[in-house]
Amino acid sequence: MVFDIDSSRGLRTPDQIVPLLRAVLAASKEDESRSVEWKSGYADVTSLDASFAIGRAILGLANRPVGVASAAFEGVGYVIVGVEPGSLVGQEMRDSAELLNAIRRFTGHGWPYWDARSLTLDGMAVMVVTVEPPRDGDRIALLQKSYQPIKGALSPEGTIFVRQPGATERASRSDLEMLQDRILAGTEAARAKERKLMAVDGLRVIVADLVEAGGRWADTMEILVLATHEEWSQRNWIEWANSDSGREMTANALTVDRAARNIRLRSSDERLLDPVVTLQGLMKENESFDVIHKKGGRREERTAAYRALGSIKRALLQLENAMIEIVRDSDF
């Protein structure tokens, strides 16, 4: 039979792990999986034999394929000492520092990441080691110290163990290829993320330039609307176009247009494209502004101009907020 426990999420707190211990106690010996390894108790959990057995189990769980590991308990692995199917003998833990040093003789410090704790099941202390999920890009977990049992083969320093269904074994050729692929997958994922972040950063700069130029353009146009009380003559237009403010306003309009076209070429994200298209349309349709300058700023034309400027500013704000959201989604 299989474990009678929900394996769709990682179990980390004592309240979550105790049901796993009960599931092990109620399981069959054949139920030992690639996520859970159980062992009977040891007279001294810090002894050479016990710490090697536990360390080997940790290394094996750390060297699982990412896809296989993530299929149960969100990739978390468990080494349970003191509980087996149909048998609860318990396992007393020694001083935590002494235990860590004993097991780390074989696992090393740092990677793989694991944690040992003592939990109580039906009045008996049980030792539970949780091993963090393997990830693409993780290096191979190697045996850090040779181990020679009284009987059996030597496990030399650098030995690679991989957790298989029901057993932790020395890595085969296919296991080594899998672990190499896991390292390379992390490298490619990092490169892909870097490319994505560079693309997002490029868009962020373009959007920032557009929003800044668009805001200056709208502010200047608002001043013109406010200051216009009579029809502009051709000479007024020429003088304005040749003034510093007129040249700056033209430059801002060109910046907005150029940046908008750049965004449409670089991105297919509707969160950006919708306000960009709206903004381009509003800035190209200057009839309300032309009416003000031709008719001397009558109340109805002035109202229409303010309404159009409000729409432009809302489009700029929508574009800026969309870019902020995209940056946040990209973990930039």
- Residue 158 CA, distance from chain mean position: 31
pLDDT at 287: 62
For residues 322 and 332, what is the distance between their CA atoms, to the nearest angstrom? 14
Has this prediction a pTM greater than 0.85? no
Share of the chain above pLDDT 90, in %: 47
Which residues of the chain register pLDDT less than 70?
1-3, 188-194, 286-297, 331-332
Kindly report, residue by residue over 27-63, the tens digit of the pLDDT: 888 777 899 999 988 989 999 999 999 999 999 999 9
81 vs 12, 102, 128, 129, CA distance in Å? 16, 15, 6, 8
In this predicted structure, what is the pLDDT of residue 118?
A: 92
Q: Which residues pair with 319 in a beta bridge?
A: none
Cα torsion at 319, 320, 325, 327 (round to 10°)?
110
Fold of 14-171: 3.30.950
Delimit the domains of the chain by residue range. 14-171, 190-329
CATH 1.20.1420 fits 190-329, yes or no: yes
pLDDT at 94: 74
